[in-house]
Amino acid sequence: MIMRDDEIQSKCYGELGCVDYTDQWYHSLHRPVNFFPLERHLIAVKFWVHTRSKPRSNLTLQVDDPGSVTRAGMDAQKDTKFIIHGFLDTGTDDWVQEMVQRLLDAGDMNVIAVDWRFGALPMYQQAMANTQLVAMETAHLIRWLQSSHGLNVSRVHIIGHSLGAQTAGYVGAGVPGLGRVTGLDPAEPGFQHMSPVVRLDPGDARFVDVIHSDARSFITSGLGMLQPCGHLDFYPNGGREQPGCGSYSDTISVFMESSVDDFEAELFACRHMRAVRFFTDSIGEGTSCSFIGHECGSYEQFLEVRCR
């Protein structure tokens, strides 16, 4: 644990590089304390590869093992999407698998689920720190694929939810020229109002788009950022409240229609997970869900429900 009053401190993780805590990483209110990430073998990041020929494979990529690329059926000349989960989630959760399948249905590409489940466990402050090492592992893999297999990083798209969205930003910072980062309700605690070095920001990729779905303050049980952090930030339904989240009848309805994993996510983080649903439902042409927009002259008109 590192406090602001200490000298600049650093911890290195072999070929991945070092984590350095400068003044930018501290704020008396928003981030008074920093932890170093856990050791690599404890977080044990895995990269599950999914392709159209092997959509449900249990194969992973390993840096410096070209055979792992061949076995997984990955073609580095195609578009590549990475999905990064957040706090208390895994890379094999139902929502990740559904997003993988929707992406593969929409195009012939590589989809890689970044699984850092052992680093995403309580407590939150340690998981928050672990995101840096997860990003370093992911960036290291991308750079290796670039140098050894000709991966075009401008065709790489990182999709992250919650802490995974902040992780995606760190990946982009470590891979110059990265094509796109999509942040799905980026985590607020420890990130909002911090320096762009600490959080997701437009400098992390050629294009950064963000969906904010639970942008209430953390002290009022919100989990996502209100602060804009992309080239394009969406605030569906205002970004703070979401239809279908909160009431008893809504909870029962979700229980009847969802798997156990989805129900737990909806019950405890309904608004926070809604960004995932918005993004997943937007993938591909001819989706069953159409998003309807209404033009508003001002935010005040939106609050008064006076949009056209």
Note if the bond before 99 is cis, omega within 30 degrees.
no
Cα dihedral across residues 286, 210, 115, 180: positive or negative = positive
Task: Report the distance separating Cα 61 and Cα 70, nearest Å.
Answer: 9
Residues 6+ apart with CB under 8 A from 221: none
Residues facing residue 113 across a β-bridge: 48, 83
Give residue 75's identity as a one-letter amino acid code. Answer: D
Contact between 84 and 114 (Cβ < 8 Å) = yes
DSSP symbol at 241: -
Strand duo 18-21 + 9-12: pairing: antiparallel
CA dihedral 191, 173, 204, 158 (to 10 degrees): -90
Catalytically active residues are 162, 185, 272
Q: At 24, which amino acid appears? A: Q
